Amino acid sequence: MTVIAPAIIRPDDWNVALFIHILGAMVVVGSLVLATAYLVGAWRGGSPGSLRLGFRSLLYGAIPGYIVMRIGAEWIYSKEGIADLPEEPDWSGIGYAVADIGLLLLLIATITSGVVARRTAATGRGDDRPGGIGVRVSAALVGIVLVVYVIALWAMTTKPA
Protein backbone atom coordinates (compact mmCIF):
# COMPACT_ATOMS: atom_id res chain seq x y z
CA MET A 1 0.00 0.00 0.00
CA THR A 2 1.43 3.36 -1.04
CA VAL A 3 0.84 6.39 1.11
CA ILE A 4 0.84 9.71 -0.69
CA ALA A 5 1.96 12.66 1.37
CA PRO A 6 -0.28 15.72 1.14
CA ALA A 7 1.11 18.42 -1.10
CA ILE A 8 1.91 21.73 0.50
CA ILE A 9 0.41 24.51 -1.53
CA ARG A 10 2.15 27.41 0.17
CA PRO A 11 4.00 28.10 3.40
CA ASP A 12 1.90 29.15 6.36
CA ASP A 13 3.56 32.55 6.64
CA TRP A 14 1.97 33.56 3.31
CA ASN A 15 -1.58 33.08 4.57
CA VAL A 16 -2.13 36.54 6.10
CA ALA A 17 -0.91 38.37 3.00
CA LEU A 18 -3.04 36.21 0.72
CA PHE A 19 -6.06 36.62 3.01
CA ILE A 20 -5.74 40.43 2.91
CA HIS A 21 -5.43 40.38 -0.87
CA ILE A 22 -8.50 38.17 -1.30
CA LEU A 23 -10.49 40.11 1.32
CA GLY A 24 -9.81 43.39 -0.49
CA ALA A 25 -10.74 41.83 -3.83
CA MET A 26 -14.01 40.50 -2.41
CA VAL A 27 -14.88 43.93 -0.98
CA VAL A 28 -14.12 45.58 -4.34
CA VAL A 29 -16.25 43.13 -6.32
CA GLY A 30 -19.11 43.27 -3.81
CA SER A 31 -19.08 47.06 -3.85
CA LEU A 32 -19.01 47.09 -7.65
CA VAL A 33 -22.01 44.77 -7.82
CA LEU A 34 -23.88 47.00 -5.37
CA ALA A 35 -22.89 50.17 -7.25
CA THR A 36 -23.92 48.62 -10.56
CA ALA A 37 -27.34 47.76 -9.19
CA TYR A 38 -27.90 51.26 -7.82
CA LEU A 39 -26.51 53.10 -10.84
CA VAL A 40 -28.50 51.00 -13.31
CA GLY A 41 -31.56 51.66 -11.16
CA ALA A 42 -30.86 55.41 -11.31
CA TRP A 43 -30.31 55.14 -15.07
CA ARG A 44 -33.67 53.45 -15.52
CA GLY A 45 -35.53 56.17 -13.67
CA GLY A 46 -34.97 55.40 -10.02
CA SER A 47 -34.88 57.96 -7.27
CA PRO A 48 -31.94 60.31 -6.73
CA GLY A 49 -31.25 58.17 -3.68
CA SER A 50 -30.21 55.33 -5.96
CA LEU A 51 -27.60 57.55 -7.53
CA ARG A 52 -26.28 58.67 -4.14
CA LEU A 53 -26.10 55.09 -2.88
CA GLY A 54 -24.27 54.02 -6.03
CA PHE A 55 -21.76 56.82 -5.52
CA ARG A 56 -21.30 55.99 -1.84
CA SER A 57 -20.77 52.31 -2.53
CA LEU A 58 -17.96 53.28 -4.90
CA LEU A 59 -16.47 55.86 -2.57
CA TYR A 60 -16.75 53.97 0.73
CA GLY A 61 -16.54 50.38 -0.51
CA ALA A 62 -14.77 49.93 -3.82
CA ILE A 63 -11.91 52.42 -3.43
CA PRO A 64 -10.89 51.35 0.11
CA GLY A 65 -11.29 47.71 -0.93
CA TYR A 66 -9.02 48.37 -3.88
CA ILE A 67 -6.36 49.84 -1.59
CA VAL A 68 -6.53 46.80 0.70
CA MET A 69 -6.40 44.49 -2.32
CA ARG A 70 -3.28 46.18 -3.71
CA ILE A 71 -1.54 46.18 -0.32
CA GLY A 72 -2.20 42.46 -0.04
CA ALA A 73 -1.11 41.90 -3.65
CA GLU A 74 2.22 43.63 -3.13
CA TRP A 75 2.74 41.80 0.14
CA ILE A 76 2.10 38.34 -1.33
CA TYR A 77 4.11 39.27 -4.45
CA SER A 78 7.16 39.96 -2.29
CA LYS A 79 6.60 36.87 -0.11
CA GLU A 80 6.36 34.56 -3.14
CA GLY A 81 9.51 36.05 -4.64
CA ILE A 82 7.93 36.64 -8.03
CA ALA A 83 10.15 39.68 -8.58
CA ASP A 84 13.19 37.39 -8.39
CA LEU A 85 11.99 35.14 -11.21
CA PRO A 86 13.69 35.56 -14.59
CA GLU A 87 10.31 36.11 -16.26
CA GLU A 88 7.11 37.33 -14.59
CA PRO A 89 4.23 34.82 -14.83
CA ASP A 90 1.40 35.76 -17.20
CA TRP A 91 -1.23 35.63 -14.45
CA SER A 92 0.70 38.21 -12.43
CA GLY A 93 1.00 40.55 -15.40
CA ILE A 94 -2.70 40.19 -16.13
CA GLY A 95 -3.50 40.96 -12.50
CA TYR A 96 -1.41 44.13 -12.46
CA ALA A 97 -2.73 45.37 -15.80
CA VAL A 98 -6.34 44.74 -14.84
CA ALA A 99 -5.90 46.37 -11.44
CA ASP A 100 -4.31 49.50 -12.93
CA ILE A 101 -6.92 49.90 -15.68
CA GLY A 102 -9.67 49.09 -13.19
CA LEU A 103 -8.47 51.80 -10.80
CA LEU A 104 -8.52 54.42 -13.55
CA LEU A 105 -12.06 53.48 -14.61
CA LEU A 106 -13.17 53.23 -10.98
CA LEU A 107 -11.92 56.74 -10.21
CA ILE A 108 -13.62 58.18 -13.31
CA ALA A 109 -16.90 56.45 -12.42
CA THR A 110 -16.70 57.62 -8.80
CA ILE A 111 -15.99 61.23 -9.77
CA THR A 112 -18.71 61.24 -12.42
CA SER A 113 -21.36 59.78 -10.15
CA GLY A 114 -20.31 62.11 -7.32
CA VAL A 115 -20.60 65.21 -9.52
CA VAL A 116 -24.00 64.13 -10.81
CA ALA A 117 -25.23 63.25 -7.31
CA ARG A 118 -24.06 66.59 -5.93
CA ARG A 119 -25.63 68.52 -8.80
CA THR A 120 -28.87 66.63 -8.29
CA ALA A 121 -28.88 67.33 -4.56
CA ALA A 122 -28.12 71.03 -5.09
CA THR A 123 -30.76 71.71 -7.74
CA GLY A 124 -33.35 69.11 -6.88
CA ARG A 125 -33.17 67.91 -10.43
CA GLY A 126 -30.32 66.93 -12.63
CA ASP A 127 -28.76 64.21 -14.63
CA ASP A 128 -30.31 61.35 -12.65
CA ARG A 129 -33.31 61.17 -14.95
CA PRO A 130 -33.62 58.08 -17.15
CA GLY A 131 -30.93 58.21 -19.79
CA GLY A 132 -28.93 61.02 -18.13
CA ILE A 133 -25.43 61.01 -19.55
CA GLY A 134 -23.61 61.15 -16.20
CA VAL A 135 -25.54 58.21 -14.80
CA ARG A 136 -25.05 56.23 -18.00
CA VAL A 137 -21.30 56.87 -18.02
CA SER A 138 -20.96 55.86 -14.36
CA ALA A 139 -23.04 52.71 -14.75
CA ALA A 140 -21.21 51.66 -17.91
CA LEU A 141 -17.77 52.21 -16.40
CA VAL A 142 -18.63 50.29 -13.25
CA GLY A 143 -19.99 47.45 -15.39
CA ILE A 144 -16.78 47.40 -17.44
CA VAL A 145 -14.65 47.35 -14.29
CA LEU A 146 -16.70 44.46 -12.95
CA VAL A 147 -16.19 42.45 -16.16
CA VAL A 148 -12.46 43.23 -16.18
CA TYR A 149 -12.15 42.10 -12.57
CA VAL A 150 -13.87 38.82 -13.41
CA ILE A 151 -11.15 38.31 -16.04
CA ALA A 152 -8.54 38.97 -13.34
CA LEU A 153 -10.29 36.47 -11.08
CA TRP A 154 -10.02 33.90 -13.85
CA ALA A 155 -6.32 34.66 -14.32
CA MET A 156 -5.56 34.46 -10.60
CA THR A 157 -7.36 31.14 -10.13
CA THR A 158 -6.32 29.29 -13.31
CA LYS A 159 -2.80 30.74 -13.55
CA PRO A 160 -2.45 30.44 -17.34
CA ALA A 161 1.10 29.84 -18.64
- Domain for residue 95, yes or no? no
Domain count for the chain? 1
Q: Model-level pTM?
A: 0.83
- Domain for residue 63, yes or no? yes
- Domain for residue 94, yes or no? no
Query: Domain of 74: which CATH number?
Result: 1.20.120
Torsion of CA 24, 25, 30, 31, to 10 degrees: 60
Task: Tell me which residue range forms the domain holding 43.
Answer: 14-80+101-158
- Domain for residue 136, yes or no? yes
Mean pLDDT in residue range 9-38? 88
- Domain for residue 92, yes or no? no
- Domain for residue 121, yes or no? yes
Confidence check: pLDDT of 34 > 90: yes
Between CA 15 and CA 114 the distance in angstroms is 37
- Domain for residue 90, yes or no? no
What confidence tens digit (pLDDT) does each residue in 125-144 have? 554 454 478 889 999 999 99
- Domain for residue 85, yes or no? no
Mean pLDDT in residue range 29-46? 90
